[in-house]
Amino acid sequence: MRFVLLTGGAGYIGSHTYLALHAAGLTPVILDDFSNSSPVVLERLQRLTGQPVLCERGSVADKARVQALIERYKMTAVIHFAGFKAVGESVAQPLKYFANNLGGMVSLLQAMDATDCRTLLFSSSATVYGDPATVPITEQFPRSYTNPYGHTKLVCEDMLSALCASNPAWRVGVLRYFNPVGAHPSGLIGEDPSGLPNNLMPYVAQVAVGKRPFLNVYGRDYATPDGTGVRDYIHVEDLAAGHVAALQKLLSASENFTVNLGTGQGYSVLEVVRAFEQASGQLVPCQFAPRRSGDVAQCYADASLAHSLLNWRATRTLADMCADAWHWQSCNPDGYR
Ligand code: UD1
């Protein structure tokens, strides 16, 4: 059996990747402190795989614990999802982000180094491109940040570069996610934000299911076809498959890589709303609001490197993303609660 440690494996992207790894014949082991996820996910994963879920409740910053876990299972690789990701919160509480996202990363890397487990996929983000000068965005674009959350992603990438330069035994894949949305088609797992959703798709889903009266559309005067922000939404199932492809590459080749995981196609806020209304048969009332601070007009990937390097590309459409997000939301109006 080949075991793969998933830090933050009970979260939104981690849980979908868990299923994709399992289907690919690997054995994922979850380490999660459940600070932003629910243990109910574990029951759902067990139902979907028909097998008990290997999971430890704990922090990625507990170095002794992580070392013991890596040794116990002789982990083949680690996928590091664990991290905070709310932009506004990171502006209000930067130390929380530095401690968890940077401190957690250093501790994890030390545990990996000490146990000679040096194969890692890291969850980075298109946020490292800041406000891109043009679109589509290639991996060569300059990096910047506009908030502490984005800064932590950038610094983590730099830590990994330094580590790889220091020791050729490290095998590292940096995955820059665009906008993950949607859910597993079973409706059993999906995105479950706590409180008011920050991101568009879960907010739209909560309006459609009647939990919130309307969507605030942040900005209608961007230089985009309909004036609203354009993003590269990617189905979380495609993203999960991207992790399997990236891990296979990392295990079979002797190169490190940094790659965009997106579809290469941008959609505006209003296009997403229309697609969601179609998929759900519900109305999604909208109100225009001022631009949200830190938002960019357009952000979508040049996804060609992922295709040539990993032989992976996203296949699900915006309609699929909305249909699966709606299925999850309508089956679980209160998420995992
Ligand atoms: C946001 C973060 C980004 C982070 C990513 C993943 C900001 C500024 N950016 O990306 O750093 O990596 O989430 O967590 O927060 N929108 C509305 N109404 C809403 C919510 C969103 O109109 O209630 C619009 C936004 O203005 C934007 C689009 O929908 O044009 C997508 O927003 P969102 O889902 O928050 O993603 P990003 O801003 O791309």
For 138-167, write each residue's pLDDT tens digit: 999 999 999 999 999 999 999 999 999 999
pLDDT tens per residue, range 290-303 = 999 999 999 999 99
pLDDT tens per residue, range 270-323 = 999 999 999 999 999 999 999 999 999 999 999 999 999 999 999 999 999 999
Q: Within a domain: residue 285?
A: no
Give the number of domains in the chain. 1
User: According to the model, what pLDDT value does residue 325 have?
Assistant: 98
User: According to the model, what pLDDT value does residue 305 have?
Assistant: 98
Q: Within a domain: residue 165?
A: yes
**Most informative mutation of 12, 220, 224, 231 for ligand 1 (most atoms within 8 A of CB):** 231
Residue nearest (by alpha carbon) to ligand 1 atom 35? 199
Dihedral (C-alpha) 96, 98, 102, 106: value to the nearest 10 degrees?
-80
| Known catalytic residue at 149 | yes
pLDDT tens per residue, range 323-333 = 999 999 999 99
pLDDT band at 43 (very low <50, low <70, confident <90, very high): very high
Residue 87 amino acid letter: V
The whole-model pTM stands at 0.98
pLDDT at residue 104 above 90?
A: yes
Determine the atom of ligand 1 nearest the C-alpha atom of 230: 30
Q: Within a domain: residue 267?
A: no
Q: Within a domain: residue 219?
A: no
Candidates 12, 18, 97, 149; catalytic one: 149
pLDDT band at 76 (very low <50, low <70, confident <90, very high): very high
Rounded CA separation 158/174 (Å): 11
pLDDT at residue 178 above 90?
A: yes
Domain with 154 in it: 3-181+234-262
User: According to the model, what pLDDT value does residue 13 have?
Assistant: 98
Angle between helices 104-114 and 148-166 (to 10 degrees): 20
Q: How far is the CA of 200 from the centre of ligand 1 (A)?
A: 6
Can you give the CATH number for the domain in which 177 is found?
3.40.50.720
The residue count of the chain comes to 337
Q: Within a domain: residue 144?
A: yes
pLDDT band at 254 (very low <50, low <70, confident <90, very high): confident
User: According to the model, what pLDDT value does residue 316 have?
Assistant: 98
Residue 231 Cβ contacting ligand 1 at under 6 Å: yes
User: According to the model, what pLDDT value does residue 253 have?
Assistant: 87
Q: Within a domain: residue 114?
A: yes
User: According to the model, what pLDDT value does residue 85 have?
Assistant: 97
Q: Within a domain: residue 94?
A: yes
Pairing of the two strands 257-261 and 171-177: parallel
3-state secondary structure 181-250: ECCCCCCCCCCCCCCCCCCHHHHHHHHHCCCCCCEEEECCCCCCCCCCCEECEEEHHHHHHHHHHHHHHH
What does pLDDT average to over the chain?
A: 98
Residue 269 Cβ contacting ligand 1 at under 6 Å: yes
Residue 86 Cβ contacting ligand 1 at under 6 Å: no
CB 121 within 8 A of CB 80: yes
Rounded CA separation 110/60 (Å): 11
Q: Within a domain: residue 336?
A: no
Residue 317 amino acid letter: T
